[in-house]
Amino acid sequence: MYRNYKLNELRMENIGEEVILSGWVSKVRDLGHFTFIDLRDRYGITQILVNEEVSGKELFEEARKLKNEWVIKVTGKVAERSSKNKNIPTGDIEVEAKNIEILSRSKQLPFEIDETGNLNENMRLTYRYLDIRRPKMLNNIIKRNDMLFSIRKFMNENGFLDIDTPILAKATPEGARDFIVPSRINKGDFYALPQSPQLFKQILMVSGVDKYYQLAKCFRDEDLRSDRQPEFTQLDLEMSFIEQEDILNVTETLAKQVFKDVTGIEITENFERMSYDDAMNFYGSDKPDLRFDMKLIDLSKETQNCGFGVFENAIKDGGNVKAIVAPNAEKFSRKYIKDLEDFVKTYFKAKGLAYIKINENGDINSPIAKFFTEEKLTEITQKLGIKNNEIALILADKYKIVHDGLGALRLKLGEELELIDKDSFKFLWVIDFPMFEWSEEENRYKAQHHPFTSIKQKDRKYLDSNELDKIKTDSYDMVLNGYEIGGGSIRIHEEELQEKVFEKLGLSKEEQQDKFGFFLEVLKYGVPPHGGLAFGIDRWLMAMLKENSIKEVIPFPKTNKGQDLMTGAPAEIEENILAEDLRLKLLEIEKEN
């Protein structure tokens, strides 16, 4: 037997008991005639006392030689501590060792388990097994478990069936982003790892399953960012015979329950709702962070004949003039403003960033003020509602540049001026997304969400018009603190409408058959109205735990280059396995390193 107590369990009432404990040596303090060992496991820490008198000289000498992270088994008696530690639940007692058995030694660690500072990320990923011993990381792993179980409990209580769909699936049209898997039995053919179980969950509705959920692994072979991973976990759910409101209700209740189970905080009020148009117009984002205000202010009316050519032309060209107003104007040095301008120029192709700054004493400081009459300037500042020691940052450009640029600037200033209440959590529904989005690159319409999204009844009339932009969908994203944590829609359940949408997306009948033939067939056999939602588990948990990277909440994440530093995946494969088993040959590769 290795233990009869875990290391968070012993209390005053156990005093006098003979116990067996096992765990990792977390600290050894040699105090001359005594040695104290902090013994650690997943559950806590218990102090071991090795006393020359009680434990014997031999054991005492041995104990002094123990090193951090060795695994030992201790037999001994529980005793009251002379100096108690109120910070840990076992702080009133210690165990006087009668025997210590070394179960496993450890060589010097690349970093300390109790290190709380910033560790090199690659080091942490290479030694993830040591990283997980660190209390913060272990806690994240435990919180992930709690979250997953909380979700399952809720889904189970609400009649959703847990159904697993294939990982070895068929390539989707966005084939370029699929991971593909050559088949040995069917040489020359390939599976694809699913980007999501979208079609399978719709198929399950056609199967009459009524309510489905799955915590599904999904895969995307694309360049990675700090909140992207090649494989990620999704809570996928779908319901039949429902309307949008039903889905919002059940998932909002779910989100509150999960939030409570993970953070301990109860949310009673309903989530705010905002249309996609409002989110874009007021926050320059389809996932606004509502922990602070700073809305975009539309100056288009005030500036259309303002005398300043840059503004006037932007309006004339069909664009906008918009501004955000920030406090602490005194912090906006010429240098800082220049940095902000570079930011919107670099990332959003803005042509420039105008500003109107009102000093503490009410003086106006603005290079563009000279273009305006005093009246016009007053009109503008009144519209801005700008006060002393505030600054308005103004973009005049095409819709996308103005809104994306100001949206990003708003978030940047929120961080840098510390306007965000980091203790608060703001949930939000963004609804009514457009169906189509014009792609400049591809010179065609693309589906903003996906092509299975149902079109609002009132907008179906635009399907045969030139105004596809006007078409809104029954769709919804759940946003937490500026992160999109989930999104979904009511789906198309009519075969004809589905074909029409494919057609508008530029798919010929033949391409439709090629790519979605089997699904169009499914739609011929009695399809219930249905809809659903998918949550990104990793990002959702990251937001709840206020982490900055999903790597903090994924047990074994890949690097931004898709590598597992611990195991060395991906790796080369022997040429003959490729050739014989799979009939594949590697072409020459230009190494970019």
Helix (H) or strand (E) holding 125: helix 121-126
Known binding residue 449? Answer is: yes
**Rounded CA separation 465/501 (Å):** 13
Q: State the minimum distance, in angstroms, from the CB of residue 92 to a copy of itself.
A: 23
**Rounded CA separation 218/216 (Å):** 6
Q: Which is nearer to a copy of itself, 408 or 522 (CB)?
A: 522
**Rounded CA separation 510/405 (Å):** 40
384 binds a copy of itself (CB under 8 A): no
2 binds a copy of itself (CB under 8 A): yes
Q: State the minimum distance, in angstroms, from the CB of residue 112 to a copy of itself.
A: 13
Q: Which is nearer to a copy of itself, 462 or 502 (CB)?
A: 502
Known binding residue 536? Answer is: yes
Instruction: Give me the 5-24 binding string for a copy of itself, x by CB under 8 A, dash otherwise.
Output: -----------------x-x
Exactly one of 3, 345, 398, 449 binds a copy of itself (CB under 8 A); that residue is 3
568 binds a copy of itself (CB under 8 A): yes
Please name every residue paired with 446 in a beta bridge, in sequence order, or none if there are none: 437
574 binds a copy of itself (CB under 8 A): yes
Taking contact as CB under 8 A, which single stretch among the options 157-165, 327-335, 367-375, 501-509 is the one that binds a copy of itself? 157-165
364 binds a copy of itself (CB under 8 A): no
Block residue for tokens 């946003």: 479
Subset of residues 186 to 205 that bind a copy of itself, contact rule: CB under 8 A: 186-193, 199-200, 203-204
For a copy of itself (CB under 8 A), the number of binding residues is 119
Known binding residue 538? Answer is: yes
Contacts 24+ apart (CB under 8 A), 54-61: 54/96, 54/97, 54/98, 55/96, 55/97, 55/98, 59/97, 59/98, 59/99, 59/100, 60/35
86 binds a copy of itself (CB under 8 A): no
Helix (H) or strand (E) holding 214: strand 211-219
Going by the DSSP 8-state scheme, the letter that residue 141 receives in this structure is H
Both tokens of residue 205?
């509705």
Subset of residues 481 to 540 that bind a copy of itself, contact rule: CB under 8 A: 493-494, 518, 522, 524-529
Q: State the minimum distance, in angstroms, from the CB of residue 222 to a copy of itself.
A: 8
Subset of residues 214 to 233 that bind a copy of itself, contact rule: CB under 8 A: 217, 219, 221, 223-224, 230-231, 233
173 binds a copy of itself (CB under 8 A): no
What is residue 593's three-state secondary structure?
Answer: coil
Q: Residue 364's closest CA among 323, 324, 392, 331?
A: 392
Amino acid at 512: Q
Q: In what order do the strands lie in the sheet with 475-480?
A: 161-162, 211-219, 231-240, 530-536, 483-490, 475-480, 427-431, 272-275
164 binds a copy of itself (CB under 8 A): yes
Known binding residue 229? Answer is: yes
Residue 514 CB burial class (10 angstroms; 0-12, 13-18, ≥19): exposed
Exactly one of 70, 311, 348, 540 binds a copy of itself (CB under 8 A); that residue is 70
Q: State the minimum distance, in angstroms, from the CB of residue 115 to a copy of itself.
A: 15
DSSP string, 390-427: EEEEEEEE-HHHHHHHHHHHHHHHHHHTT-S-TT---E
Subset of residues 241 to 260 that bind a copy of itself, contact rule: CB under 8 A: 241-243
Q: State the minimum distance, in angstroms, from the CB of residue 558 to a copy of itself.
A: 7
114 binds a copy of itself (CB under 8 A): no
